[in-house]
Amino acid sequence: MSEIKLPAERRTAFGKGAARRIRRDNKIPAVLYAHGSDPIHITLPGHATMMALKTANVLLSIELEGNSQLALAKDVQRDPIKPVIEHVDLVMVKKGEKVVVDVPVVIEGEAQSDTVVTLERQTLQLEVEATKIPASVVVSVEDAEVGTMIHAGDIALPEGATLIDEADILIVNVSPQISQEELDADLEGGDEAPAVVFAPEPDDAE
């Protein structure tokens, strides 16, 4: 995955008021954390940063005062209502450095007919080189039959990647498809929930 360049400016104003002014200028307040160094407070371009962070584990090249620094987004705070990013925590990385990331799982192929394929886990936690983070991990269910269960340890990982999750975690489950007739029968035969009866409280003693 190639890095995306983002121009940054050093930030000297802090607090909620300063953050609101930064966001009104279509910029995003951010903090760049380094190993063994003081954090650097910066601002990032709003639109470009939002577009970049749509990709999971995107590698960013932060361009600050004539220098470039590779970084990964550690924490992204988003507005609960509006589609805007309120703040970003970044962590510096170096080429060759190993990092632990959650990589999306993607299913490909067609299982056998009358089956349902369930993705039990959306991501796999892997240790990989910071500059070689895979966009996804592909799991094939081609011609998989009912009862097929694919665990984390069964998945072929990208070159250089190490599994951090437990190997026995269930990732994909292939189960039988329930027909409409079976579903209707289950609904008709289901027991009704018992009524809850509240006993009257005794009168207060005089």
CATH of the domain at 152: 2.170.120.20
Range of the domain at 127: 99-188
Final residue in a domain of this structure, among 31, 59, 93: 93
Q: Is 205 a member of any domain?
A: no
Cα–Cα distance for residue pair 46/58, rounded to 1 Å: 16
Round the average pLDDT of the chain to a whole number and report it. 87
For residue range 130-176, list pLDDT tens digits in order. 989 999 999 999 999 999 999 999 999 999 999 999 999 999 999 99
Asked if residue 195 has pLDDT above 60, the reply is no
Q: Is 24 a member of any domain?
A: yes
CA dihedral 126→31→78→48, nearest 10 degrees, is: -90
Cα–Cα distance for residue pair 102/125, rounded to 1 Å: 4
Q: Is 193 a member of any domain?
A: no
- Amino acid identity of 41? H
